[in-house]
Amino acid sequence: MAAAVGLGGAVGALMRYAVGRAFAGAGFAAPFATLFVNIVGSFIMGLIVGWILVRGEISTEIRALLSIGMLGSFTTFSTYSVDALVLSRDKGIQWAVAYAGGSVILSIAAVAFGYWLAASFFQRGP
pLDDT 10s digits, 104-113: 999 899 888 9
* pLDDT exceeds 90 at position 31: no
Q: How far apart are the first and last CA of the chain?
A: 52
- Element housing 71 (H / E): none
Res 90: pLDDT: 93
pTM over 0.75: no
Which amino acid is present at 29?
Answer: A
* Range 64-82 average pLDDT: 87
Angle at the Cα of 76 (from 46 to 43), degrees rounded to 5? 20
Dihedrals phi, psi of 59, to nearest 5 degrees: -70, 160
* Range 9-23 average pLDDT: 94
Which amino acid is present at 34?
Answer: T
Judged on CB neighbours under 10 Å (0-12, 13-18, 19+), 101 is: exposed
